[in-house]
Structure 1
Amino acid sequence: MPDREEPGRVAHPRTRLDDNFSTPIRFSLMASLGEGIELDFATLAEILQVSDSVLSKAISHLQEAGYVVGRKGYVGSRPRTWVRTTDAGRAAFAGHLRALREIVELGGLHMP
């Protein structure tokens, strides 16, 4: 069934979902990096229970979208990478969550 657009009708909240959060890993990564939180790569991999490769791809995708930034440095002589969200990333994720909540609320309107 094609999308129906009617003048004056508010678009379904699904149209405001951000495809950058469409995978469970990217969604979970953003949720783990709440406002003001910066985590190192190894900690993120442990929290999300994913391989380094999977996490690296998710971070790269979100970096390209401008939603996270990475910072490289050292702890002693060991290299580390830390990741945090950007203002744009936090705003986009908050909008995505609002749209999800609205979808759930709309679904509840049709319950007997």
Structure 2
Amino acid sequence: MTAQTQPELNEVIHAPNRLRICAFLSTVDRAEFSVIRDMLGVADSVTSKQLKVLEEVGYVKLSKPTGKGRVKTWAGLTSAGRQAYEAHVAALKALIAGG
């Protein structure tokens, strides 16, 4: 083991569906639940569970704006979530580079 500090993988973000959610949300301000579900290609329950995990650690903020018609759930990365995602990506890059 070297004396250098290596970036650490984030166990919460590392799960494939959560990593894909974070990667997607890092490119937008926020996204509607069905868009995230369709991007993942999974059931509502799977999407909901993954978003809930990210919300519980403070990486994603979920909101349900009220208005006319059906209430839709929106998700966006928090600043902590964005930082955690960026640190995870840095750790992946270091791992790939052999560091």
Q: Same fold (TM over 0.5)?
A: yes
Gapped regions of structure 2 (runs ≥ 5): none
Unaligned runs of 5+ in 1: 108-112
d(CA) in 2 for partners of 1:49, 1:62: 18
Question: Could you say which residue in structure 1 is the equivalent of 2:29?
Answer: 37
Deviation string 1:3-49 (CA, Å, 9 cap, x unpaired) is: x5x6xx12444xx1101112110000000101542101011101111
Greater Rg, structure 1 or structure 2?
A: 1
| TM-score, normalised via structure 1 length | 0.80
Identity of aligned residues (%): 32
- TM-score normalized by structure 2? 0.90
Runs of 4+ in 1 over 3 A off after TM superposition: none
**Would you tell me which structure has more strand in proportion to its own residues?**
1
How many residues end up aligned between the 2 structures?
99
RMSD: 1.7
1:96 — aligned with what? 88
Do structure 1's residue 18 and structure 2's residue 10 form an aligned pair?
Answer: yes
What per-residue deviation string (whole Å, max 9, x for no partner) do you get for residues 61-98 of structure 1? 00011000001024631110000000000000000000
